[in-house]
Structure 1
């Protein structure tokens, strides 16, 4: 029985992980949950799974949950809050495996603490790897802690790389749907609205990741994550636009062979793969081969998607530039959703912040978070300046 800590339990990855636990009760159980701000979902999850610990985002939410649990006669679950609560969930002695799915750098300290505690990680938080991948991977190698990707693209790469050595890999190919604006005339990009950008053609995701998919910044973050997870330079990580989203990623080997991973577009499959690795349990997540009757692949347009170009530039420099890329994007996307800036102001804001960012490689999580905060402030300054110009 593998006992899980689920960081981000009320999000889509967390809920899908709990679905896996429900489907495989002989294999997995819930030890701890970090539930963020969703009080109602946290209450239901504690009633259903009776974890040892549950953590919420704030002290006020934790107090409310404690009161409501006591009213129901549930006293065996300890309720914590904030970063310290997430860290406690990730490092609890009964935890055998940590699913890291807290959105953004909010999950960074808990993920790092779990690695230091020797806990295997199922990684669904690409921002942690983008901002602090150099630190996290070094700590994992030192302690021989597995970092198993849950993101469908990196999970696919992980599967394809099981059949060869790193020295035999020529290119890692990450597939991208192209988002909702793959064929929209470039001159119409200035008028893109949040409602249009939130209509992803393939996946149902949170708001930020959906906007990032529309700008292809999400794919840029995945390029950086691939470099860290698989120890390859950015020159060996390529992106191909594949609107059908049936091929999740490919690995091209030096002999000319290309291996592709194909499966249903259901996050439960990569979650199950990470939880069970190196086993492959039987599942009902089958794929209809008729969906392979038509497959398109094309090169991404850096003029149409400047965020992807900026991501490659940040990947080449590493360190502070990767941290700033992620931080600036988060601020810019929020401003776009609030109609403060236009769609094309997202890459403009990121580029300005990257220009202001000096080259450095923070060696501690505190150093990473300091660069992150500075980049966010610079993004806000850039957005304010743009608003004044308008």
Structure 2
């Protein structure tokens, strides 16, 4: 029985992970849950799974959850809050495996703490690897802690790389749907609305990641994450636009062989792979080969998607520039959703913040968080200066 810490339990990855636990009760159980701000969902999860610890974002939410659990007669669940509570969830002695699915750098400290505590980690939080990948991977190597990707593209690469060594890899291909605007005329981009950008053609995801998919910044973050996870330079990580989204990634080897991972577009499959690794349990997640009757692959248009170009530039610089890329995007996406900047204001904000960011490689998590805070402040200044309402 593998006992899980689910960091980000009320989000889509957290809920899918709980679905896996429900489907494999002889393999997995819930030890701790970090649930953020969704009080109602946290209450239902705590009653259903009876974890040792539940952590919420604030002391007020934690107090309310404790009150509700007591009124419902649910005992034995410790309720904590904040980053410290998430760290307790990640490092609890009953935890055998931590699923890192807290959105953004908010999950960084808990993920790092899990690694330091020797817990294998399933990574569904690309922002942690973008901002602090060098620190996290170094800590994992020192402690021989597995970092198993849950993002579908990196999970696919991990599967394809099981048959060869890193030295045998010529290049990795990350597939991208191209989002809703891959065929739109460029002159229409200035008028894109949040409602249009939130209509992803393939996946149902949170707001930020959906907007990031529309700008292809999400794929840029994945390029940086792949560099960290697989110890490859950005020049060996390629992006190909694949609208069908049936091939999740490919690995090209130096002998000319190309291996592709193909499966249904269901996040339960990569989650199960990470939880069970190196085993492959039977599942009901089957794939219809008829879906392979038509496959398109095309190079990305860097003029149409400047955020992808900016991500490659940040990957080459590393350190503070990767931190700034992620932080500036988060601020810019929030401003776009709030109609304070236009769609094209997202790459403009990111580019200006990167230009203002000095080269620096933080060596501690505290240093990463300080660089992140500085980048967010620069981004807010850029957004405020733009003062454009669409």
- Report the TM-score when normalising by structure 2: 0.99
8 Å CA contact 2:5–2:97 kept in 1: the answer is: yes
**How do residues 196-207 of structure 1 correspond to structure 2 at under 5 angstroms?**
196-207=196-207
For the residues of structure 2 that align with 1:182 and 1:286, how far apart are their CA atoms?
A: 29
Instruction: Output the CA distance in 2 between the equivalents of 1:104 and 1:19.
Output: 23
Which residue is 1:148 aligned to? 148
The corresponding residue for 2:347 is: 347
Q: Report the secondary structure of 1:180's partner residue.
A: coil
SS of 1:42 mapped into structure 2? helix
Partner of 2:366: 366
1:75 CA drift (Å): 2.0
**RMSD, matched Cα:** 0.9
Distance 2:243 2:389 in 1: 37
| Partner residue in 2 for 1:106 | 106
Using the TM superposition, give the Cα deviation of residue 386 of structure 1 relative to its aligned residue in structure 2, in angstroms. 1.1
1:28 maps onto 2:28 in alignment: yes
SS in 1 for 2:303: coil
Equivalent positions of 1:78-227 (< 5 A) are 78-227=78-227
Aligned to 1:249: 249
Q: In the alignment, which residue of structure 2 is the partner of 1:357?
A: 357
CA offsets, 1:172-205, max 9 Å, x none?
0000000000000000000000000000000000
- Mapped partners of 1:131, 1:182: distance in 2: 28
CA distance in 1, matches of 2:43, 2:384: 40
Deviations 1:9-34 (A, max 9, x none): 00000000000000000000000000
Question: Which structure 1 segments of 5+ residues have no match?
Answer: none
CA positional deviation for 1:47: 0.6
1:385 deviates by 1.1
CA distance in structure 2 between the aligned counterparts of 1:199 and 1:71, rounded to whole angstroms: 41
For the Cα contact (< 8 Å) 2:115–2:121, is it kept in 1? yes
SS class of match (1:278): coil
Closer/same/farther in 2, CA of residues 255 and 362 from structure 1, 3 Å limit: same
- Contact 2:341–2:388 under 8 Å retained in 1: no
Supply the distance in 2 between the matched residues of 1:274 and 1:74 (Cα, whole angstroms): 31
Matched residue SS, 1:15:
helix
2 CA distance for matches of 1:151 and 1:389? Answer: 34
Aligned length: 390
TM-score by length of 1: 0.99
Give the direction of change, closer, same or farther, for the CA distance of 1:194–1:389 in structure 2 (3 Å limit).
Answer: closer
CA gap 1:377/1:51 in 2 versus in 1, 3 angstroms: same
Separation in 2 of the partners of 1:356 and 1:371? 12
Show the counterpart of 2:386: 386
Summarize the Cα distance change of 1:262–1:64 in structure 2 as closer, same or farther, 3 Å threshold: same
Report the 3-state secondary structure (helix = DSSP H, G, I; strand = E; otherwise coil) of the residue aligned with 2:387.
helix
* Unpaired stretches in structure 2, ≥5 consecutive residues: none
User: What SS does the aligned partner of 1:264 have?
Assistant: coil
CA distance in 1, matches of 2:140, 2:87: 17
> Is the alpha carbon distance of 1:388 and 1:164 closer, same or farther for their aligned partners in structure 2, counting shifts above 3 Å?
closer
Q: State the alpha-carbon separation in 1 of the partners of residues 204 and 46 from structure 2.
A: 26
Q: Runs of 4+ in structure 1 displaced over 3 angstroms?
A: none
- Which residues of 2 match residues 226-305 of structure 1 at below 5 A? 226-305=226-305
